[in-house]
């Protein structure tokens, strides 16, 4: 939704395909006209850019898109065989099971993961999937699997390709595949500039976040 010129088109694409998802901080703040986007920034220029993006997105997201975004759930749980037998579960959140604005980066220690697992009522064998930092990583702690998917629309690990994760439960274990998918970044960069968004956002998608600007 943020830092990019196609909020309504993104919503329409998800709706047309019936893709389930959870509310990211940008989704819930735009839907509720919250005072800021819930993004982190570390200096005045980043703050200025974050506010410019948020103001643009608030203005250009339709009432219908905002209604749809406002109805997104905070989390989704998928159970093996639909839940009529015991088995592993997959929990999906945006940031953490506590708030969608908390950054769960790879430097968080195992105790942080255990604490979040307790909030999500995970047990050994379960998987929790999240994003928000736009940096992909995974770890197993006490038999529970923690996966940050990275980002399709705005990677921040220096690789401009869209990133996502395929998680499959096979033979009693989670198989993870971290996928990177090249796309026409220049079309996106040109559309960002044509929309009147800051030039920095175009540079950001070109470099996969190698430039420092709003997180």
Sites of contact with Fe ion (CB under 5 A): 24-25, 132
* Pick 14 or 140: Cβ nearer Fe ion: 14
**Min separation Cβ 47 and Fe ion, Å:** 16
Angle, helix 44-60 to helix 199-207, in steps of 10 degrees: 100
Question: 138: burial class by Cβ within 10 Å (0-12, 13-18, 19+)?
Answer: middle
* Pick 25 or 61: Cβ nearer Fe ion: 25
For residue 69, give the nearest of 30, 101, 100, 17 by alpha carbon.
30
Helix (H, G, I), strand (E, B) or coil at 149: coil
**Min separation Cβ 29 and Fe ion, Å:** 10
* Residue closest to Fe ion (Cβ): 132
**Min separation Cβ 19 and Fe ion, Å:** 17
**Min separation Cβ 4 and Fe ion, Å:** 13
Strands (DSSP E) along the chain, which ranges? 75-79, 89-93, 127-130, 137-141, 144-148, 162-170, 173-181
* Pick 24 or 209: Cβ nearer Fe ion: 24
Dihedral, 192, 196, 197, 200 alpha carbons, nearest 10: 80
* Pick 24 or 155: Cβ nearer Fe ion: 24
């Amino acid at each position: 939704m943020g830092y990019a010129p196609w909020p309504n088109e993104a919503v329409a694409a998800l709706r047309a395909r019936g893709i389930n998802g959870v509310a990211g901080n940008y989704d819930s703040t735009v839907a509720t006209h919250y005072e800021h986007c819930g993004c982190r920034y570390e200096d005045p220029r980043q703050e200025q850019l974050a506010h410019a993006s948020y103001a643009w997105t608030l203005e250009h997201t339709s009432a219908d898109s905002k209604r749809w975004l406002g109805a997104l759930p905070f989390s989704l749980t998928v159970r093996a065989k639909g839940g009529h037998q015991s088995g592993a579960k997959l929990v999906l959140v945006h940031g953490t099971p506590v708030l969608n604005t908390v950054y769960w980066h790879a430097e968080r220690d195992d105790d942080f993961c255990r604490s979040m697992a307790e909030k999500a009522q995970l047990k050994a064998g379960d998987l929790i999937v999240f994003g928000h930092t736009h940096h992909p990583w995974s770890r197993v702690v006490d038999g529970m699997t923690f996966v940050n998917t990275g980002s399709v629309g705005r990677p921040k690990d220096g690789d401009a390709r869209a990133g996502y994760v395929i998680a499959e439960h096979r033979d009693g274990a989670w198989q993870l595949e971290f996928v990177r998918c090249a796309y026409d970044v220049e079309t996106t960069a040109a559309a960002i500039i044509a929309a009147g968004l800051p030039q920095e956002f175009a540079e950001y998608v070109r470099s996969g976040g190698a430039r420092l600007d709003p997180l």
